[in-house]
Structure 1
Amino acid sequence: MATPQKRRTQRVGKKNTRRTANKHQKRVVIRSNKIIRDNWDRKQTLRQNYERLGLLTSLNGVAGGREKLVPPPKPEEMEVEENEELKELTEQDIEKVKKSLKPGEGLIQRDDEGNVIRVIVGEAKTHDEILDEEFAPVEAKTDVVRALEARAACGVTRTRHQTEYEKDWVAQLIEKHGDDYEAMFWDKKLNVYQQTASQLKNKCKKYKKEH
């Protein structure tokens, strides 16, 4: 007669051990782009693959998990030179400086005695301005990026056209104010969406090109 301990051993039997895949590790499967799929290394992570191929995992900034690189402090001599150059800016140069500054950034223009003449503050770009903005070409660093750019160059470019309502609205502004974009800006009846003077200027330029 078997003891209870022996019966339990017979009932359990031999334990089968097998190696299973890590269910927490996300497996990346590239289906859409053949160029990336052919150059993908399955032994590397998504971030490692993108860095090797010369791509970005996200267009936004790094939210965390990586060391922040603090820029070196700016020498005082460079700041003095920039302030001297800022004194000699014309109105056209000031508009260029505004476009180069980010929202929340600003520059102070002073006279020879140190008195504040004006404060140049960066303005947020609208969706239309971002679409119409022309960027300087950046040289590709990897063969994969060059292949992707060559493929993208063969695509069809789409131009944004103004709607009939927008054309009629811009025509009313031009008929009433001509090229005075500041007057268009302060027109409460027509400028119901409170578009800025630069936004209205771009819309009028588009309208004049098509008409």
Structure 2
Amino acid sequence: MKAAHATAWLAGLALLAGCAARAPVPDWQGNAHAALQAAVAATLEGQPRVAEAEMARARDEIARTGRPALLARAELVLCAARVASLDLDGCPRYAALAVDAEAPERAYAAYLYGQVDAVQAALLPAAQQRAAQGAAAAGVDDPLARLVAAAVQLRQGRASAADVEAAVQAASSQGWRRPLLAWLGAQLRGAEGAGDAGEAERIRRRLALVDNRAPTSPERAP
């Protein structure tokens, strides 16, 4: 799935979604949109240096408007890609802009933090509303939204094995290396905790493949 599609599920949050359909488009707008898409794609592909370089471009373009609320939206888009990869340390760049963020952005940030209340949930796109209300991550159609929903559930301590599997499938189907490694790691911990040695070994083989490591063979001399 292309980065443009990966961010479309954010509905009112994704910066300038569909801006190319209108003409004329200011240069900063098209440039910021393209850079943000590239930053999200690089984040999901596990290329942090590329992601930061592209996001720096997006920030520079948005800064030309003097509108911090727009930059807050963009920071949330990138933060969502990190949350999808189980980077749950918060959104510090968004937090620095939160005072100027609009209500939908504040609601979405609360959702990412796993702290959204009923009033804020009403401001979320439909899929995120359902997830905030406890719907299973597997029921979210968009792969990136499904990963975020599962991550929020994991943060809240209510992610089931089915939610983790749904996240693994979403990341695998899109070839998103960073979230796939993170979610396979979560699945491995679950298998180890359950004492399922066969399942744990199967997951380790998948991790080795994604991480471009040779699988460990029990017949190979150390």
TM-score (norm: length of structure 1): 0.24
Higher strand share: 1
